[in-house]
Amino acid sequence: MEGHIIVCGWGRVGRACVEYLTSIGRSVVVADRDPARLAGLTHPTVNGDVTDDTVLQAAGIARADALIAALDTDAGNIYVTLSSRALRPDLTIIARARTEASKPALFRAGANRAVNPQLIGGRRMAAFALQPNVAEFLDIVMHDASLEFRFEEVDIRPDSWLVGKSLADAALRDTTGALLVAIRPAGSQFHANPPDSTVLAAGTILLAVGTPEQLTAVRARVERSG
């Protein structure tokens, strides 16, 4: 397997991750130390201690796109992150943080992102109470795979024809039908609704919303070589 996502830990968080990933067509490998948890799964699985390099290698870490550390303890997720980062310096690693205090340690261990599911869940509930339509729209776009439109991020590579060009030159809305919501220059913050005069540099991330066909057209246009 190649280009898959490794999910470490088959608990409630791991299950939710796998459910979403498979709903959008991504391949996953589930790793857990408890064989009873893995019994009956239709996804590829690896039984063993995920803090062990051999288990991560068996899960195909050398060929994976990303790894999600979703164990039940902060210590376990820190160890998984350390081991994974040592094996794959370029791997995208998302780690579960049971407490906000554990986030700095996870970042030091090599996580690209540290996520506290309880905090995010609480904020989403509050958002539904205050701005239900905004919250529902974002929830549907991000998590409902059956919807005809969605958000997607596209990276401007160094060889893209858009490097040094403006958003007006890109003409993404006119040529693809997708809506550009924001951009994020490398090492910078998000810029929502950027003006057409914005000049694009290599490493800039474009955030667009549209149908799958429109977003495919955006990716094809952006990734065209200069």
Contacts of 14 (CB under 8 A, 6+ apart): 7, 8, 30, 32, 68, 70
Quick one: pLDDT at residue 225?
81
Q: If you average pLDDT over every residue of the chain, what do you get?
A: 92
pTM to 2 decimals?
Answer: 0.80
Quick one: pLDDT at residue 146?
63
Q: Which of 140, 128, 115, 135 is nearest to 13 (CA)?
A: 115
Q: What is the mean pLDDT of residues 39-53?
A: 92
> Among residues of the chain, what percentage have pLDDT more than 90?
77
Which 3 state secondary structure label does DSSP give 40? coil
Q: What are 108-146's pLDDT values in tens digits?
A: 999 999 999 988 889 989 989 999 998 888 887 777 666
Task: Flag whether pLDDT at 197 surpasses 80.
Answer: yes
| DSSP one-letter string for 86-120 | HH-TT-EEEEE-SSGGGHHHHHHHT-SEEE-HHHH
DSSP tag of 199: B
Query: Which domains occur in the chain, in start order?
Result: 5-115 (3.40.50.720), 150-222 (3.30.70.1450)
Q: In which residue are the tokens 């290698």 written?
A: 57
Contacts of 89 (CB under 8 A, 6+ apart): none
Quick one: pLDDT at residue 30?
97
Q: What is the mean pLDDT of residues 204-223?
A: 92
Tokens of 135: 């919250």
Task: Give the side-chain half-sphere CA count within 13 A for 86.
Answer: 13
Can you say whether the dihedral through the CA atoms of 116, 123, 155, 211 is positive or negative? Answer: positive
Q: What are 159-175's pLDDT values in tens digits?
A: 999 999 999 999 999 99
| DSSP one-letter string for 57-92 | HHTTTTT-SEEEE--SSHHHHHHHHHHHHHH-TT-E
Least confident of 28-32, 80-84, 183-187: 183-187
Quick one: pLDDT at residue 218?
94
Question: How far is residue 208's CA from residue 156's CA, in Å, rounded to a whole number?
Answer: 13
